Amino acid sequence: MTMLSAVDALFVTHQQSSGVLMQLGVEVELQGRIARDDVVRMLSHVVKCWPPLGQRLRQEWLGLSWGGKQKIGDMLRVAEKRDALAKWRNQPLDPFREPPFQLLWIAQDEVHLLAFRAHHAVVDGEAFFAVCAEALRSLAGKAAASDNADKEGFNRPAKVKDAWQKLEELRKQAQSDRSARIAVRSNAPGPIAIVERDLERDQLSGWLCAGAWVKAIHEWNC
């Protein structure tokens, strides 16, 4: 079980309340022979290195956490035509009902399109790139040893010998600002300030609003 920090939980609640997709995605086109067993083996390697990628969100009394059994079948979608890609990209990913890391596989003869996507609550941009790169290395038969996965992100769950010590560990973790996202050990918003500026109607533009939004969230969302 991996607890989410307050910032990680924000990505979950923001998508659910606003409808804005808090997701990352990338497509990779490969040529050659790829069987379903190869793709399943690739996803199995990924969740072995980073278990939360194949788990679901749970509402615990200490907060949200990644937990449960990884189901590789729920992480993989197969399509015959590339028209399915746009729908895949724009379909909200519900981490309470499905794994936060998924793959759409479109095979046309020996040309294969692998479309990865992940919820922002489980990975940031840098970590998403690292996970996808490791997945492709696994597919090519050059995967890194899973024992080294901790250097890239999540700590592997320890065996619990003392329930009380585990409870204390979870309590301290939930009260800290430590992030559960891969490759981000700590992430907390900085100081908040309000700046007011009166603008005439002819001065308003979509680009100005977009620029203000990007500037406002850049410090903690990059």
CB 180 within 8 A of CB 52: yes
Dmax over CA atoms of the chain, in Å, equals 67
CB 1 within 8 A of CB 57: no
- Of the given ranges (34-43, 66-75, 164-173, 197-206), which has the lowest mean pLDDT? 164-173
Neighbours of 156 (CB within 10 A): 13
* pLDDT tens digit sequence for 141-166: 865 555 444 444 444 444 445 555 65
Does residue 89 surpass a pLDDT of 60?
Answer: yes
Cα–Cα dist 108/85, whole Å: 14
Tell me which residue of 143, 154, 148 sits closest to 50, measured CA to CA.
Answer: 154
Secondary-structure class of domain 2-175 per CATH: alpha beta
Single-letter amino acid code for the residue at 17: S
Tell me which residue of 154, 104, 155, 98 sits closest to 124, measured CA to CA.
Answer: 154
* pLDDT tens digit sequence for 159-218: 445 555 655 666 666 666 555 555 555 555 566 666 666 777 666 666 666 666 666 665
Q: What does the domain layout of the chain look like in residue ranges?
A: 2-175
Cα–Cα dist 121/95, whole Å: 9
Neighbours of 191 (CB within 10 A): 5
